[in-house]
Amino acid sequence: MLADSDFSAPVLDAIDDPILRERKITLRMLRLDRIHPLVSGNKWYKLKHNLLAARAESHNTVLSFGGAYSNHIVALAAASKLSGLRSIGVIRGEAPKILNPVLQFAQQQGMTLHFISRSDYRHKADPEFIEALEQRVGDFYLIPEGGSNLLGIKGCAEIADHLHWQRKDSPHLVLMACGTAATLTGVVSALPSECEAIGVSVLKGPDSLSPQVNSWLHALGCTPAARWSIDTQFHHGGYGKTNPALNDFMKAFEGRTGIALEHVYTGKMMWGLYKMIESGEVAFGSEVIALHTGGLAQNIPSW
């Protein structure tokens, strides 16, 4: 069974920029993307307790959902193989004639791919749909899309153990990108009162994530000590969308720091952070830790 001992402890990389020095802001990035060659980023934290539960309930197959470029599917396929479990990926959309690198990798890891229409995919949480899947593919342990359930949140709470602060008297800010906000929920549940957490939503539209965070925290019986919020300004057109300005920002950031970003999550997070620093929303003298939650290119050797 894949275990924490198979992973490297995430390091905190210091980032030095003129705008940070000007505002006396200390910025470091927690490199969750480097903890494992195949199961990296926040995905291990979301999967670990789900995989343990599958074993405890005597399941030998796990099933989950994702799009054709899902890093959750990538991580689940690899983690399942390393844990001695079969995996099934229910993929949104019709089966392509040629699999893209993401789906090729998942299949190489032993994952069975099951394609469904986009209209059927909308019903992935319906009990009737799940029952029909069981009749078709057999018994399985269900992990929701993205690994975003209470067990995934329990794992994400452990990320807070790696947030080591250098200055006691400075404002402490943790920043992360949000797609489902499960990672934010887990981290917030474990932060002390002197910290603040901001989630940068990668979704277009009004804030739909804060109610979900509150619902999960209620289900956990948790009243968080730390302040938290979700910023919806920096999605650059919505999930998976990008534009020349964001691409240029990511390229320049990598050139200065050597840290690669991707446009779905971490690029938008860091764009948002720098905009908040420029506008003064991040207090002078703050200590900031940004979570690098990984990306597809790092997980797929052939990408």
Q: Are residues 156 and 266 in the same domain?
A: yes
> Among residues 93, 116, 147, which one ends one of the domains?
147
Q: Are residues 101 and 239 in the same domain?
A: no
Residue written as token pair 């901001």: 198
Q: What percent of the chain has pLDDT over 70?
A: 97
Q: Are residues 63 and 163 in the same domain?
A: no
Averaged pLDDT score across all residues of the chain: 96
Q: Is 8 helix (H, G, I), strand (E, B) or coil?
A: coil
* CATH number for position 77: 3.40.50.1100
Q: How far apart are CA 116 and CA 227, in angstroms?
A: 40
Q: Is 236 helix (H, G, I), strand (E, B) or coil?
A: coil
Q: Are residues 117 and 190 in the same domain?
A: no
For every residue of 88-101, DSSP letters joined together read EEEEESPPPSS--H
Q: Are residues 25 and 94 in the same domain?
A: no
CA-angle at 221, arms to 215 and 224, nearest 5°: 80
Over residues 198-254, the pLDDT tens digits come to: 999 999 999 999 999 999 999 999 999 999 999 999 999 999 999 999 999 999 999
Q: Are residues 228 and 174 in the same domain?
A: yes
Q: Are residues 76 and 213 in the same domain?
A: no
Over residues 92-133, the pLDDT tens digits come to: 999 999 999 999 999 999 999 999 999 999 999 999 999 999
Residue 298, pLDDT above cutoff 90 = no
Q: Are residues 235 and 263 in the same domain?
A: yes
Q: How far apart are CA 279 and CA 292, in angstroms?
A: 23
Distance in angstroms between the alpha carbons of the first and the last residue of the chain = 27
Q: Which two tokens stand for residue 58?
A: 């005597």
Residue 297, pLDDT above cutoff 90 = no
Q: Are residues 29 and 52 in the same domain?
A: no
Q: Are residues 158 and 67 in the same domain?
A: no
- Name the H helices within the chain: 18-22, 43-56, 71-82, 101-108, 118-121, 127-137, 150-157, 182-190, 209-220, 244-257, 266-279, 296-299
Structural domain including 245 reads 4-38+150-299
Q: Are residues 138 and 270 in the same domain?
A: no
Q: Are residues 97 and 9 in the same domain?
A: no
Q: How far apart are CA 284 and CA 143, in angstroms?
A: 42
- Binning the chain into helix, strand and coil, the percentages to the nearest 5 are 45, 20, 40
Distances (CA, A) of 76 to 15, 44, 181: 31, 9, 19
What is the predicted pLDDT for the residue at 300?
63
Q: Is 7 helix (H, G, I), strand (E, B) or coil?
A: coil
> By C-alpha distance, which of 64, 71, 66 is closest to 137?
64
Domain count, the chain: 2
Note the Cα 63 to chain centre separation in Å: 18
